Amino acid sequence: MADVLEVLTQEGDSIVDSAATALARSGLRHYTDAGPDAAHDRLDVLYKLVVASVSAHDLVPMIDHSNRVAHERFEAGFDISEVQTAFNVLEEAIWAKVIEAVAPSDLAEALGLVGTVLGAGRDALACTYVSLATHQHVPSLDLSALFRGGV
């Protein structure tokens, strides 16, 4: 059985394709308007950040990206639910492959790593969106302690 980083490395194209298909099925206006290639490319960037964050045990690149995306999508008129859906479909696609390939005894750790990375991204995204919408600073949750496991 493989470890989570192996699965993420070997199954990247399949995971991103699956997530892009799910995102297209969701019928979200801005992603539909942007077209399937743009949505696929955005998911691919997000996926690569998940892999890098899991590999390096570093949430900062994901948080920085999520803050940038929040600003870009907010200014473009995206609803936060549209962007959150992109995170969600990617996470579901990752989980499907990880559950298939990782030993049951290693699943909690594997899914915890992926969930922590995407959770940190979603949190940063939501806080930035709320800050932009209300013009008030909203602090992020400190998830770093969750990510310091002995891997």
Model confidence over 60-108: pLDDT tens digits?
999 999 999 999 989 888 888 888 999 999 999 999 999 999 999 999 9
| Number of other CB atoms surrounding residue 55 within 10 Å | 13
**Domain 4-147, CATH 2.30.30 — does that match?**
no
The pTM of the full predicted model, rounded to 2 decimals, is 0.84
| Number of other CB atoms surrounding residue 50 within 10 Å | 23
Q: What pLDDT is stored for residue 32 in this prediction?
A: 78
pLDDT beyond 50 at 151: no
Domain residue spans in the chain?
4-147
Burial of 89 (0-12, 13-18, 19+ CB in 10 A): buried
pLDDT beyond 70 at 145: no
Q: Are 83 and 69 in contact (CB under 8 A)?
A: yes
